[in-house]
Structure 1
Amino acid sequence: MKKTFYSNGKLLITGEYVVLDGAKAFALPTKFGQNLIVEESEGNVIHWKSYDSDKSVWFEDTIPFSSIVRKERFDDIKNIKNTLIEILHEAYLINSDFITAANGYTISTELTFPKLWGLGTSSTLINNIAQWLQIDAFKLLKRSFGGSGYDIACAQNNTPIVYQLINENPVVEIVQFNPDFKDKIFFVYLNKKQNSKAAIATYLSNRGNIEKSIPIINDITNKIIESTTASEFSLALQQHEIEMSAILEQVTAKETLFPDFDGVIKSLGAWGGDFVMSISKENPIEYFKDKGFQTVIPYSEMIL
């Protein structure tokens, strides 16, 4: 019998990095996500195949149950396989039934967004595995891939959220965000995938005394959610970029890539890659395409 599970992708609008230290993060689940299709089979192995959004296969391998139980590692060229085994091993430690009470599986994953977009290939996978095995996705993330967990919250919710770690526990608040000016908001892919794990590691080793910045970021996050005009929203986005630029000691995406843009650019998630968000009076699609950025998605086509 075939079972199918689905999780939403994500975009982190505020609180990037500092969400790890307890700041409020405003995040939006996307219309794009990932399916997990599970069928029972034989041989005490998992036949695994992962499809990109264009239906091409980007990963395929056979994983013995014994490799999952022992958390077996393969050569570095098998990094995807190693990561998958690590996730499945941690899932096995939480709920071993899928190994001990089964004979084998044929599993496929199907992204509905291009893998390089960075909308949550890992988080949607972890949440789908957690749904399949009926375990806590936040616990599985913490024990395997790591991170704040805001992406898991987006995977599980179909509305805008504020996410916060309080005493290291995830707290998710559903919020209203449906501004009149959303037709002025676009998401631009920067033509390169950012390694979230590496970016987080760099932040954690360099962040210094972050406590004083958290109330500032929380206040800006509240202003962004509560904005009733495009100018109010834009000003709060600018304030957030300035604050994060000082914390990270990095120049903003606008300074680096779009200094002549007549509007506001906000980095989303790990700085330097994946998507940025823009807001401007004029439709910016031609501006970004002239700069070599061909993937420009309106708010209404990106966000649930």
Structure 2
Amino acid sequence: MVVENPKYFYSPGKLLLTGEYVVLDGAKSLAIPTTFGQTLKITSIPEQVLRWQSVDVNNNIWFQADFELDTTSKVVTNSTLEVAQRLTQVLQVVCDLNDGFKDNFKGTLAITELEFPNNWGLGSSSTLINNLANWAQVDAFKLLKQTFGGSGYDIACAQHRTPVLYQLNEGLNISTEVSFKPSFHKELFFVHLNKKQNSRDSIKHYRSVPKDTLRNVLSKISKLTERVLTANSVQEFSDTLNKHETIISQLIKTPTIKEQLFSDYPKTIKSLGGWGGDFVLVVGNPEDKIYFKEKGYHTILSFAEMIA
């Protein structure tokens, strides 16, 4: 079949440099789109279904399913039931937000293509949600809220090509584009911790923190976020991140990642997003990467490789 006028949607991935956890309660946070993202391609097929294919970074189809629509979305065939059920839920919410989207359940092929390994934690879900929202012409923040939940900073990253100062304010998702490429950016790199963090578990733990404790912390983290953006030296930058780590560590009663895994590393290490997995930001020179490789952490990206 000749494909006519395929549609393409693209969203970059996400990193949360400051404000992890407290972004949920209104702290100003620095959210950064990554050079890696996800594409959604929409084409026509003769079969009267919505055929879904998910392609990983190695160009392998890791998920495939056919969806039909009667009163609710129904999986006809699938390769991974759990994923199919989750996607069914998301598609149903899309239909609830835009009833006209149901027309796409007849004769449509949707192909998602990830530019990063799924276990990197750079936003395979948020980039999907934003691409789907753009395709269906619905509000991505509403779609996120009714499916995966969270603060929405990842959707803000998906909708921008530059870093954003992100804040939740009385239910509004406020994103302000900012510049973040410090003069010392070559002394910054990212190390993957060889596992993906389940942010839902982290958020559940954070939610047990008393509200009285939070109010003071929100103000402190917001000020530190501003200082990160204006730091003129790597020392000032490091000091600011160290203070941030200490505050969050005390708040969630969890040792910092440096205390847990890299206590003998002499420079700053900052958790990004939910603590315990995904990437960390490291202050160091190129030769410092050897330290992490010797400990078994071989996925290391420079500032330029990770951030556009």
TM over 0.5: yes
Q: Distance in 2 between matches of 1:101 and 1:81?
A: 17
Match of 1:289 in 2: 293
Unaligned runs of 5+ in 2: none
Match of 1:256 in 2: 260
Q: Distance in 2 between matches of 1:154 and 1:70?
A: 31
1:190, distance to aligned residue in structure 2 (A): 0.2
Percent identity of the aligned residues?
A: 44
CA 1:101 to 1:132, structure 2 compared with 1: closer, same or farther past 3 Å? Answer: closer
| Counterpart selection for 2:166 from 163, 167, 178 | 163
| Counterpart selection for 1:103 from 97, 106, 109 | 106
Q: What secondary structure, in the 3-state scheme, does the structure 2 residue paired with 1:7 have?
A: strand
Judge which range, 44-53 or 221-230, deviates more: 44-53
Match of 2:120 in 1: 117
Q: Distance in 2 between matches of 1:183 and 1:139?
A: 38
| Counterpart selection for 1:272 from 276, 279, 283 | 276
So what's the TM-score if we normalise by structure 1?
Answer: 0.94
Matched residue type, 2:62: W
Alignment of structure 1 residues 91-240 onto 2, 5 Å: 91-100=94-103, 103-206=106-209, 208-209=211-212, 210-240=214-244
Q: Distance in 1 between matches of 2:159 and 2:287?
A: 32
1:24 equivalenced with 2:28 (yes/no):
yes
Q: Deviations along 1:273-299, whole A, 9 cap, x unmatched?
A: 000000025632111100100001000
Q: What secondary structure, in the 3-state scheme, does the structure 1 residue paired with 2:67 have?
A: strand
1:199, distance to aligned residue in structure 2 (A): 1.8
Q: What secondary structure, in the 3-state scheme, does the structure 1 residue paired with 2:158 have?
A: helix
CA 1:72 to 1:101, structure 2 compared with 1: closer, same or farther past 3 Å? Answer: closer
Q: Deviations along 1:20-78, whole A, 9 cap, x unmatched?
A: 00111101110000000111234442211111101122211122223xx5256999x72
Q: Distance in 2 between matches of 1:243 and 1:204?
A: 16
| Counterpart selection for 1:49 from 50, 53, 72 | 53
Q: Deviations along 1:195-244, whole A, 9 cap, x unmatched?
A: 12222222223455311210010011111111011000000000000000
Q: Distance in 1 between matches of 2:251 and 2:145?
A: 25
Unaligned runs of 5+ in 1: none
Aligned residue-pair number: 301
CA 1:250 to 1:101, structure 2 compared with 1: closer, same or farther past 3 Å? Answer: closer
Matched residue type, 1:183: K
